[in-house]
Amino acid sequence: MAPTYAFVGCLGVVIVTGLFKTVLTGGHPEAASPFPHPGPPVEALSFWLLMKAFSNGCTAITGVEAVSNGVQAFREPRVKNARATLTTIIAILILLLAGPLMALVALAIRLDSPGPVLFRQKRFGFNNERIDVFKFRSLYHDQADPLAAKVVTRDDPRVTRVGRFIRKTSLDELPQLFNVVFKSNLSLVGPRPHAVQGKLQSRLFDEAVDGYFARHRVKPGITGWAQINGWRGEVDSEEKIQKRVEFDLYYIENWSVLFDLFILLKTPLALMTKNENAY
């Protein structure tokens, strides 16, 4: 229960601080939405006040505006450091909370098929850097594909029984919290890191989409704006990779702390309702 209390306590400090600042500065529900247009709408007054309080709390505690920072904010050392600190704290709390679930997944993988529980895959990181991303193993060990040269397709025989479930639910991505906490080469929110050899049919992604590498201007994330809008899983058409890049660039250009928070909160629901391409 200690991690739960710690998480609630930290969130409470931010919200209480934000409520205090909101009252002092006069937060009004008729004010403009804190999300970038055409970002997610905020309709309920109570939800708006909560998010506004979180926004003001982040600003009061970190000195970083939680709304409408945009791409330029990523380049400011003060903002980058504050975001990295908040990301690490939240990732540690999530890792503690998810620990028992990760242990169960690891046990299931071990019992289901021989081989290691985790594997590393080469992905694109910030500024096109090659990074090793941790995942739960979902393929048979002798058919592992660390370069992702062959895309996993529906009913792919390389995928184990447990692998099908953890891929569908994205539980295979949980070890990427290690990348966030210990490697600092991933963020919680950002464009998803694609495999170095990721291809659309016979073309690499950067050959299929103009301006593809622009999505690498920021640190990649475990979840992102494209993912919660359903653009995840197999890439078998030009539209799918184009939409991913389009949503990633929109996120970068409209980034804010509050936008990150919305994506984090929306991720669990999106994983359950928008997973038709995940297998």
114-152 per-position pLDDT tens digit: 999 999 999 999 999 999 999 999 999 988 877 777 778
- CA pair distance 24, 161, nearest whole angstrom: 56
| Residue 69 belongs to some domain of the structure | no
| Residue 125 belongs to some domain of the structure | yes
Q: Within 13 A of 127's CA, how many CA atoms are on the CB side?
A: 3
Bridge partners of residue 159, in order along the sequence: 139
Asked whether the beta carbons of 217 and 74 are under 8 A apart, the reply is yes
- Number of structural domains the chain divides into: 1
Q: What's the predicted TM-score (pTM) here? A: 0.75
- CA pair distance 231, 10, nearest whole angstrom: 32
pLDDT at 14 > cutoff 60? no
Domain range for 167 is 99-273
203-262 per-position pLDDT tens digit: 888 888 888 999 998 999 999 999 999 888 778 788 889 999 999 999 998 888 888 989
**Cα 231 versus chain centre, distance:** 13
| Residue 180 belongs to some domain of the structure | yes
Asked whether the beta carbons of 121 and 147 are under 8 A apart, the reply is yes
Q: Within 13 A of 96's CA, how many CA atoms are on the CB side?
A: 12
| Residue 37 belongs to some domain of the structure | no
Q: Which pLDDT value is given to residue 51?
A: 52
| Residue 132 belongs to some domain of the structure | yes
- CA pair distance 62, 69, nearest whole angstrom: 14
Q: Which pLDDT value is given to residue 278?
A: 64
Confidence category of residue 55, pLDDT binned at 50, 70, 90: low
Q: Which residues of 80-108 are buried (b: 16+ CB within 10 A; e: fewer)?
A: eebbeebbbebbbbbbeebeeebeebbeb
Q: Which pLDDT value is given to residue 44?
A: 39
Token pair of 55 as six digits: 């926004």
Q: Which pLDDT value is given to residue 96?
A: 95
C-alpha distances out from residue 192 to 42, 54, 106, 189, 216, Å:
25, 25, 23, 8, 10
**Pick from 53-67, 162-176, 183-197: least confident:** 53-67
The residue that leads in pLDDT, 158 or 80, is 158
pLDDT at 99 > cutoff 90? yes
What is the percent of the chain with per-residue pLDDT over 70, rounded to a whole number? Answer: 70
**H or E element: which one contains 135?**
strand 130-136
Name the residue with tokens 């991690």. 3
| Residue 239 belongs to some domain of the structure | yes
Token pair of 220 as six digits: 């990649």
The residue that leads in pLDDT, 3 or 101, is 101
Asked whether the beta carbons of 194 and 212 are under 8 A apart, the reply is no
At 268, which amino acid appears? P
Token pair of 151 as six digits: 């895309």
Confidence category of residue 42, pLDDT binned at 50, 70, 90: very low
| Residue 84 belongs to some domain of the structure | no
| Residue 81 belongs to some domain of the structure | no
Start-to-end CA span in the chain (Å): 33
Alpha-carbon dihedral angle through residues 101, 99, 216, 184, given to the nearest 10 degrees: -170
